[in-house]
Amino acid sequence: MTGMAAVRARALNWVGIVPFAVFVGLFLILPTLYIVVGAFRTPDGAFTFDNIIGLNTASIRNAYWVSLKVSFLSALLGCAIGFAIAAAITLGGLPRQMRNPMITFSGVASNFAGVPLAFAFIATIGPAGLITMYLRTELGINLRLYGWNLLSTWGLIVTYLFFQIPLMILIITPALDGLKREWREAAEVLGATGLQYWRMVALPILFPSILGTMALLFANAFGAVATAIALTGPSLNIAPILLYAQIRGDVLGSPNLGYALAFGMIVITGAANMIYIMLRIRAERWLK
Amino acid sequence: MAFLELRNLEKSYGATRVVKDFTIGVEEGEFISLLGPSGCGKTTVLRMVGGFETPSQGAIFIDGKDVVALRANQRAIGMVFQAYALFPNLTVAENVAFGLKVGGVGRAERGARVAEMLALIGLRDLGDRYPFQLSGGQQQRVALARALAPRPKVLLLDEPLSALDAKIRVSLRTEIRAIQKRLGITTIFVTHDQEEALSMSDRVVVMNGGRADQIGTPFEIYNAPTSRFVAGFVGTLNTFDAVVTDQAAGGVTLDDVPLVIGRRLPVAAGQTVGIALRPEAVQLGRDPSREVVLPAKIVEVHFMGAVVRIAAEVAGRKFTIDTFNRVDMPPPAVGKSVEISIAARDFLILSDPVEGGQPRL
Amino acid sequence: MNRFMAWIAFLFGATYFALPLLGMAEFSLSMRRGVYSLDAYRAVLADPQFQATFAFSVVMALFTIAFGILLVVPTAFWVRLKLPGLRPLVEFLTLLPLVIPAIVVVFGYLRLYNTSSWLPMTGTAMGTNILLMFGYAMLALPYMYRAVDTGLRAIDVATLTEAAQSLGAGWGTILAQVILPNVLPAVLSGAFLTFAIVIGEFTMAALLDRPAFGPYMQILGANKAYEPAALAVIAFAITWACMALIQLVTRFSKHARAQR
Ligand SMILES: Nc1ncnc2c1ncn2[C@@H]1O[C@H](COP(=O)(O)OP(=O)(O)OP(=O)(O)O)[C@@H](O)[C@H]1O
Ligand SMILES: [Mg+2]
């Protein structure tokens, strides 16, 4: 009898997460799976690799390539600059009053993405932006002549950094706070220079957090549609914009090729996270 | 000049002076403890020697060289921290090798030295473990090995045992002292545990409010404290103020009970002098070889094993008396009237002025 | 040296962050030639499209928040209390939206829930709105779940639940009167963040063809010069307000906890 009751109790336990399971299943897993399966299907539902192979055109390759470049560079720069700023406000000996405003602002800026962010950058370094005009009228510098164009890869990177850097600051600041003062002092008294301490102790300890943030920033940039569209319109050839155009108007001329395009995006962000997880496991041998 | 010399060291944070006129000379191979209550400036002194704090004034000489201008990584000092501070991302062997590696020692020599150090601390087989896989006591031994590996001139330990549990604390105490003696390394050991300081050190510096109150061997510190603070901080003490009747011969009265100190007193007849007595210097019962015999009444009895601690009322004051446990002598009953005997030489005379006078700062 | 580098890094960051904000503020005030004016704001605020889309997004945000709380609080509570072995899996699932691009998920929605499917949600405006709300809830899931789970970690869920049960409380009472008040600051933090995310969201709303604030901003951006900058300032102010509210809530709850 008690056995039956225990089974029933255990079954009841599972009832508690049914709503969550249904929601995640219907609105996250199933839609994703549908795309993944669709990428390997002909329009009549037969299995095929043709869609994946069909991705191998100059235009699509180029879209992925630019996307990869923008995402990777903006993640890398975001990590590096964000790290420098976080280090400055935690370990750099700046007045304590500078720390909280920077963190609060990072909270705001990391969520200030999408359409309005693009407007802000257009108003600043777009063709008629504040800085562009100032440099032209006051200093006689025409940014265009120096090759600057906001509606380009680098324009996108500079814009993305506005949410990438704060995200890094938010994530890495607690990790930097976790570095014990004694580690630094122990290294120093053993004869290490500041650089040696960073190379041999601090960075290896921070490595998992940095990597994790890097993967997050990469996915963050790779899936960003709104900022790119508002900034450049549908003209810039990057994967998410291409996919956007495909969904709206089947520009590729084959729905299943669209699935393959989306599938490719999942593979890339998924791979970035796999690399992260593998590196992290290696980097964390010394963790409990 | 001593091997390690601190001369008139001062340290102020803003307007607060936390170390004042601190002067001591440590001989080569000597083991010195800084003992004092929390906040008295022990860590600050140590950190100035280590190179993490710049003295506001004064000089630090190591082996004849003034090191105040040198950074921590140029001073050839070994340091052990309270919270171990092992590098969590490095194995035990890599931790121990760290100082050698940044010092440019070659791989082969490094390996040999690490093995030697691990043998020294008795952790020969744990070289490949990470710090989280070690107990606290093991971690602290690794920290010691790491500090010693580059052959520093001076070893600094800041309360290295206080994060450990009681048993390990005692065993590691002996171990640290043995290693220190074997290597003959000049050592400063910071602690607020008097037993640690007394049992390990060649000399003890008792600190109070940023100052060195007394410097001496453990025996001197315990038996001849020169200030009320030292007397009270190191060990348990019965202190009382007596009125001097005879300065030259050492006669005083304690509430009309005459006592013979038998030595010249620092103050003139009619004035008050601070007298102290260790609990173990008081004997229960009448002992004809002791000069002073007083009636007393037992107030409390605490049986602690080897020692029986008794509180008794003597001349209207509460005395603490320690006697050794003896099988043939059960502790006295509370309320019993007894006699106690004291040898005149056991009285400690506290040279600083009694209450009401200006206390030393 | 060290401090010098720190100042450089800080000032670089401050400049980089300040310039676009300055740029958009200046631009938004420059509609009238030669003088600063609020004309762009006036034009935007008077636009009936602005009012309609903004109201739509606010309502969507409110529903998303309500749905998110109803979904996340009981789940996080239940997982902590009864299914701790499942926590890694649930946590992994809640983090997935950070990895799978939103555009891919909404692509899936369009195919799974179109008019000819088994659940034709996109067939009606209301159905699409509900689908959009689920999408938003999915986007906000990582933040909401983390906030609530962190809040739950701070209280002893098991003991509180047992205490309430011993007093005769049912699950609904426990959740609403014991657990929710204790994690309220966390829930509110998640809610404000959700609001900030939903109010300017573009991709999902545009692809599901809903008249939301995000697509409106994009269309305006493609057709006007000064109004977009004014919109950006407004959007920035909303984000800032949400973050300020989060800080306020957290500080207030720390205060309350310290007093106890
Ligand atoms: N960076 C600092 N700024 C201001 N005051 C300080 C600073 N560091 C230490 N102090 C003060 O200096 C005094 C001595 O501190 P120190 O750490 O040397 O004491 P300690 O003897 O080591 O005490 P403990 O036994 O508690 O470790 C304390 O009153 C402390 O508050
Ligand atoms: Mg200390």
Q: What does the alpha-carbon distance between residue B39 and residue B18 come to, in Å, rounded to a whole number? A: 8
Which atom of ligand 1 is closest in space to residue B11's alpha carbon?
12
- Smallest Cα–Cα separation from B172: which of B132, B152, B145? B145
Q: What is the DSSP letter of C168?
A: T
Q: Which residues contact B281 (CB under 8 A, 6 or more apart)?
A: B342, B343, B346
Concatenated DSSP letters of B266-285: SS-TTSEEEEEE-GGGEEES
- Smallest Cα–Cα separation from A247: which of C103, C113, C97, C100? C103
Q: What is the DSSP letter of C201?
A: -
Q: Which residues contact A177 (CB under 8 A, 6 or more apart)?
A: A90
Question: How far are the Cα atoms of A83, A214, A219, A288 from residue A280, in angstroms, in the given order?
Answer: 18, 12, 17, 13
C235 touches chain A (CB under 8 A): yes
Which protein residues have their CB within 5 A of the ion that is ligand 2?
Answer: B 43
Question: How far are the Cα atoms of A262, B240, C220 from residue B309, in angstroms, in the given order?
Answer: 83, 19, 89
- Smallest Cα–Cα separation from A230: which of A131, A135, A119? A119
Does ligand 1 have an atom closer than 6 angstroms to the CB of B146?
A: no
Question: How far are the Cα atoms of A287, B35, C48, C230 from residue C42, in angstroms, in the given order?
Answer: 57, 74, 12, 9
The answer, yes or no, to whether residue C121 has pLDDT greater than 50, is yes
- Smallest Cα–Cα separation from A38: which of A25, A51, A28? A51
Q: CB burial class (10 A; 0-12, 13-18, 19+) of residue A216? A: buried
Residue C13 in domain:
no
Question: How far are the Cα atoms of B272, B279, B293, C74 from residue B252, in angstroms, in the given order?
Answer: 9, 20, 14, 80
CB C144 within 8 A of CB C194: yes
CB C7 within 8 A of CB A86: no
Q: Do A118 and C108 touch (CB under 8 A)?
A: no
Q: Which residues contact A145 (CB under 8 A, 6 or more apart)?
A: none
pLDDT digits 0-9 by tens, A168-215: 999 899 889 989 999 999 999 999 998 999 999 999 999 888 988 899
Say how many domains are in chain C. 1
Q: What is the DSSP letter of C233?
A: H
pLDDT at B19: 93
Please give the interface size between A and C, counted as residue pairs whose CB atoms are below 8 Å apart. Answer: 261
Residue B192 one-letter amino acid: H
Which atom of ligand 1 is closest in space to residue B210's alpha carbon?
14
Cβ contacts of C138 on chain A, cutoff 8 Å: 23, 27-28
pLDDT at C1: 52
Q: Which residues contact B330 (CB under 8 A, 6 or more apart)?
A: none
Starting at the edge strand found earlier in the chain, the sheet holding B65-66 runs B16-26, B4-13, B57-62, B65-66
Q: CB burial class (10 A; 0-12, 13-18, 19+) of residue A35? A: buried
CB B61 within 8 A of CB B5: yes
Q: What does the alpha-carbon distance between residue A224 and residue A78 come to, in Å, rounded to a whole number? A: 15
pLDDT at A201: 94
pLDDT at C136: 95
pLDDT at B361: 32
Q: Do B88 and A200 touch (CB under 8 A)?
A: no
Instruction: Return the C-alpha torsion angle C201, C202, C205, C207, nearest 10.
Output: -150
Q: Which residues of B10-40 are buried (b: 16+ CB within 10 A; e: fewer)?
A: bbeeeeebbbbebebebeeebbbbbbbeeeb
Residue C18 in domain:
no
Q: Which helix (H) or strand (E) holds A123?
A: helix A115-125
Report helix angle B136-148 to B107-120, nearest 10.
130
Instruction: Give the length of chain C.
Output: 260
What counts of helices (H) and strands (E) characterise chain C? 12, 0
Q: What does the alpha-carbon distance between residue C178 and residue C166 come to, in Å, rounded to a whole number? A: 13
Q: What does the alpha-carbon distance between residue B300 and residue C132 come to, in Å, rounded to a whole number? A: 80
Task: Kindly report the backbone phi and psi dihedral angles of residue B34, in degrees, each rounded to the nearest multiple of 5, phi listed first.
Answer: -100, 115
Domain ranges of chain A: 64-239+265-287
Starting at the edge strand found earlier in the chain, the sheet holding B337-342 runs B282-284, B337-342, B292-303, B307-314, B317-324
Starting at the edge strand found earlier in the chain, the sheet holding B154-158 runs B77-80, B154-158, B186-191, B31-35, B203-208, B211-216
pLDDT at C59: 95
pLDDT digits 0-9 by tens, B238-251: 888 888 888 888 88
- Which residue would you say has higher pLDDT here, A251 or B340? B340
Q: Which residues of B267-281 are buried (b: 16+ CB within 10 A; e: fewer)?
A: beeeebbbbbbbbbb
Residue A137 neighbours by CB distance under 10 Å: 9
- For residue B150, the chain A residue with the least C-alpha distance is A190
pLDDT at C259: 47
Q: What is the DSSP letter of B326?
A: B
Strands B4-13 and B317-324: unpaired
Strands B31-35 and B186-191: parallel
Cβ contacts of B89 on chain A, cutoff 8 Å: 201, 204-205, 286
Q: What's the mean pLDDT in C20-41?
A: 86
Residue C77 in domain:
yes
pLDDT at A136: 83
Residue C2 in domain:
no
Distance from residue B40's CA to the centre of ligand 2 (Å): 8
Residue C200 in domain:
yes
pLDDT digits 0-9 by tens, B90-112: 999 999 999 999 999 899 999 99
Q: What does the alpha-carbon distance between residue B345 and residue B37 come to, in Å, rounded to a whole number? A: 29
| Residues 126-155 in C contacting A (C-alpha not used; CB under 8 Å) | 134-135, 137-138, 141
CA atoms within 13 A on the CB side of B309: 10
Q: What is the DSSP letter of B260?
A: E
Q: Do chains C and B touch (3 or more CB pairs under 8 A)?
A: no
Q: Which residue has the tokens 């091997």?
A: B3
pLDDT digits 0-9 by tens, B166-183: 888 888 999 999 999 999
Q: What does the alpha-carbon distance between residue C151 and residue C76 come to, in Å, rounded to a whole number? A: 10
Question: How far are the Cα atoms of B8, B12, C181 from residue B15, in angstroms, in the given order?
Answer: 18, 6, 47
State both tokens at B335.
Answer: 């309320």
Q: What is the DSSP letter of A126?
A: S
Does ligand 1 have an atom closer than 6 angstroms to the CB of B41?
A: yes
Nearest-CA distance A219 → chain B (Å) = 28
State both tokens at A224.
Answer: 């960003």
Q: Do B102 and A186 touch (CB under 8 A)?
A: no
Task: CATH number of the domain at C215, please.
Answer: 1.10.3720.10
| CA torsion through residues C18, C21, C25, C31, sign | positive
- Smallest Cα–Cα separation from B334: which of B360, B309, B305? B309
Q: What does the alpha-carbon distance between residue A4 and residue A277 come to, in Å, rounded to a whole number? A: 41
pTM of the model: 0.83
CB A166 within 8 A of CB A109: yes
Strands B77-80 and B154-158: parallel
Name the range with the highest mean pLDDT among A46-50, A200-204, C115-119: A200-204
Strands B16-26 and B186-191: unpaired
A286 touches chain B (CB under 8 A): yes
B146 touches chain A (CB under 8 A): yes
State both tokens at B140.
Answer: 């602290």
Q: Write out the residue range of the structural domain in which residue C49 sits.
A: 36-259
| Residue numbers in chain B where pLDDT is lower than 50 | 355-361
Q: Which residue has the tokens 């032209």?
A: A136
Please give the interface size between A and B, counted as residue pairs whose CB atoms are below 8 Å apart. Answer: 83
What percentage of chain C carries pLDDT values higher than 70? 97
- Smallest Cα–Cα separation from B78: which of A276, A186, C197? A186
Q: What is the DSSP letter of B69?
A: T
What ipTM did this prediction achieve?
0.89
Q: Which residues contact B199 (CB under 8 A, 6 or more apart)?
A: B173, B218
B98 touches chain A (CB under 8 A): yes
Nearest-CA distance B298 → chain A (Å) = 51
Residue A4 one-letter amino acid: M
Q: DSSP 3-state assignment of A131?
A: helix
Q: What is the CATH number of domain A64-239+265-287?
A: 1.10.3720.10
- Smallest Cα–Cα separation from B203: which of B192, B189, B193? B189
